[in-house]
């Protein structure tokens, strides 16, 4: 196979990854890395470099669509980005010191988790009735539009959420994924921020988090232009098409199929990691 | 009635959203242009990504990439587009500092400067 065909196939694969990533809300990264590593025989370090670049593209490209709706909370997002960027730096350093087999196994575990979440989206937690002192000091309590008008909400458990965000940033930097699922979990579950606000704010944060590990990746030679080019362009096209399709349909059955595929990829990643065939 | 701030959060977000989209589009155009050159040059070669050896030194930092791109080396042009892409969320953070300053929100100016410092540290190569 020559470079021309390789690039074309990679682009097509990335379009598909971006499409299903947007449709299921998991993002392209969790599929790009296994696609490159298992499907194209690419070293996992190059794979996470290319994936991370595509994560920045989709997060930043989608942001303008979200902000017009007025859901995202830029104050809590900016505050928590201190945690996610520090985590991303830590994760990127960790990636350079971790053997590829270990990275593959950790990736497999995250894939299993993503697979479970994609079929069972977390139930929105009930809104907090009372304000929290630290949230008041940081002025992060806000409001968002609902079907029945503007609704106020209080943010809780800021220290716990901050620690979880550091963890999400670490996973993002270690594996070259957006780890949006974990960011939403921290905001929605721990901090009791409304689900819709959590998902849009998380999308905003993903690009900044990924940029914090991208510098380290670039400096350590993880970002190959020949690989990143078709991956970034493909995921961008695919995720745009996916978000358009999402407006038309709620694909419950597709999510099930997708979660099974992710589970199979997880098993393969862990198996290859244990046997050292990556 | 509280005094109306110079810029509302919503207005800031709309500007930021457009800024991000413009950055991504510009990056994609540069990457695509570099990609066409790249395939014209290296399209017939066999790809080999099995072993990680890392990129050559000139494709690892901003000054080397700028030099390669100016010399119209296809890999350097793609890398320049990717740098622009990475810079897009960073510029969003930088813009937020100005926006919070316009709102006279000192706490968030300080918090945003911390985030920007972490990003700049990483882009400078992350050396202690």
pLDDT digits (tens, 9 = 90+) for A119-132: 776 666 677 778 88
Sequence-distant (≥ 6) Cβ neighbours of residue B17 within 8 angstroms: A63, A64, A65, A66, A67, A68
pLDDT tens digits, one per residue of A101-124: 999 999 999 999 988 887 776 666
In degrees, rounded to 5, the angle at the alpha carbon of residue A50 between the alpha carbons of residues A45 and A54 is: 145
**B111 contacts in chain A (CB < 8 Å):** 78-79, 82
CA distance linking residue B59 with residue B48, whole number of Å: 17
Measure in Å the smallest separation between the Cα of B2 and chain A Cα atoms.
16
CB-nearest partner of A74 from B12, B83, B123: B12
pLDDT confidence bin for B45, thresholds 50/70/90:
confident
* Total of domains in chain B: 1
* Mean pLDDT confidence for B68-80: 91
pLDDT confidence bin for B1, thresholds 50/70/90:
very low
pLDDT tens digits, one per residue of A165-218: 999 999 999 999 999 888 988 998 889 998 888 888 888 899 999 999 999 999
Among A248-257, B51-60, B104-113, the range with the most confident prediction by mean pLDDT is B104-113
Phi-psi category of residue A149: left, alpha or beta, with phi > 0 → left and psi -120 to 50 → alpha: left
CB-nearest partner of B89 from A56, A93, A225: A56
Query: Cβ(A142)–Cβ(A60) under 8 Å?
Result: no
CA distance linking residue A31 with residue B117, whole number of Å: 31
Most A CBs within 10 Å, among B57, B97, B122, to test the A interface:
B122
pLDDT tens digits, one per residue of A208-261: 999 999 999 999 999 999 999 999 999 999 988 888 887 776 667 777 888 898
* Mean pLDDT confidence for B116-123: 95
What is the pLDDT at residue A84?
Answer: 97
CB-nearest partner of A2 from B43, B82, B93: B43
Does B105 fall in a domain? Answer: yes
- CA-nearest residue of chain A to B13? A67
CA distance linking residue B14 with residue B22, whole number of Å: 12
Does B94 fall in a domain? Answer: yes
Neighbours of B113 (CB within 10 A): 15
What is the pLDDT at residue B10?
Answer: 72
Q: Which residue has the higher pLDDT, B36 or B9?
A: B36
**B28 contacts in chain A (CB < 8 Å):** 57, 232-233, 236
Could you tell me what percent of chain B has a pLDDT over 70?
93
So what's the ipTM on this one?
0.91
- Taking CB atoms and an 8 Å cut-off, how many pairs form between chains A and B? 211
Does B34 fall in a domain? Answer: yes
Among A62-66, A255-259, B20-24, B27-31, which is the least confidently predicted range?
Answer: A62-66
Does B22 fall in a domain? Answer: yes
Q: What distances in angstroms separate CA B50 from CA A30, A38, A271, B53, B107, one per listed residue?
A: 20, 11, 18, 9, 48
Residue B98 lies in domain: 9-45+53-123
Q: Does B17 touch chain A (CB under 8 A)?
A: yes
* Total of domains in chain A: 1
CA distance linking residue A117 with residue A89, whole number of Å: 26
Q: Which residue has the tokens 């953070």?
A: B93
Residue A166 lies in domain: 3-275
Does B3 fall in a domain? Answer: no
Does B30 fall in a domain? Answer: yes
pLDDT confidence bin for A271, thresholds 50/70/90:
very high
pLDDT confidence bin for B20, thresholds 50/70/90:
confident
**A169 contacts in chain B (CB < 8 Å):** none
Does B2 fall in a domain? Answer: no
- Taking an 8 Å cut-off on Cβ atoms, the answer to whether A228 and B82 are in contact is yes
CA distance linking residue A36 with residue A59, whole number of Å: 21
CA distance linking residue A83 with residue B11, whole number of Å: 26
């Amino acid at each position: 196979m020559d470079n021309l065909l390789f690039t074309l196939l990679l682009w097509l694969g990335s379009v598909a990854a971006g499409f299903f990533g947007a449709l299921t809300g998991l993002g392209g990264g969790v599929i790009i890395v296994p696609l490159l590593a298992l499907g194209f025989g690419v070293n996992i370090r190059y794979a996470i470099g290319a994936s991370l670049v595509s994560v920045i593209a989709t997060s930043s490209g989608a942001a303008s669509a979200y902000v017009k709706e007025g859901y995202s909370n830029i104050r809590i997002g900016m505050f928590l980005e201190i945690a996610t960027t520090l985590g991303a730096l830590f994760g990127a350093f960790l990636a350079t010191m971790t053997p590829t087999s270990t990275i593959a196994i950790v990736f497999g575990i995250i894939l299993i988790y993503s697979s479970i979440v994609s079929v069972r989206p977390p139930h929105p937690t009930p809104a907090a009735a009372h304000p929290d002192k630290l949230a008041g000091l940081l002025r992060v309590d806000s409001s968002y539009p609902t079907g029945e008008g503007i609704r106020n909400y209080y943010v809780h458990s800021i220290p716990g959420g901050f620690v979880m965000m550091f963890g999400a940033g670490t996973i993002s930097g270690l594996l070259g994924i957006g780890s949006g699922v974990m960011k939403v979990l921290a905001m929605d579950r721990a901090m009791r921020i409304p689900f819709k606000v959590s998902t849009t704010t998380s999308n905003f944060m993903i690009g900044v988090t990924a940029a914090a590990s991208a510098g380290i990746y670039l400096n350590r030679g993880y970002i190959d232009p020949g690989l990143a080019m078709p991956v970034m362009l493909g995921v961008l096209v695919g995720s745009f098409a996916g978000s358009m399709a999402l407006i038309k349909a709620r694909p419950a059955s597709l999510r099930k199929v997708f979660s099974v595929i992710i589970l199979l990829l997880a098993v393969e990643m862990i198996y290859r990691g244990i046997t050292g065939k990556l | 009635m509280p005094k109306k701030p110079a810029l509302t959060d919503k207005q800031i977000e709309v500007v930021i959203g457009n800024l991000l989209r413009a950055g991504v589009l510009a990056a994609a155009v540069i990457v695509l242009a570099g990609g066409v050159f790249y395939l014209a040059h290296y399209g017939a070669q066999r790809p080999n990504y099995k072993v990680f050896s890392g990129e050559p030194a000139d494709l690892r930092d901003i000054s080397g990439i700028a030099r390669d791109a100016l010399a119209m080396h296809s890999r350097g042009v793609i890398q320049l587009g990717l740098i622009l892409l990475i810079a897009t969320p960073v510029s969003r953070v930088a813009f937020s500092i100005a926006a919070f300053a316009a709102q006279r929100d000192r706490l968030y100016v300080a918090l945003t400067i911390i985030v920007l410092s972490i990003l700049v540290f990483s882009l400078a190569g992350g050396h202690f």
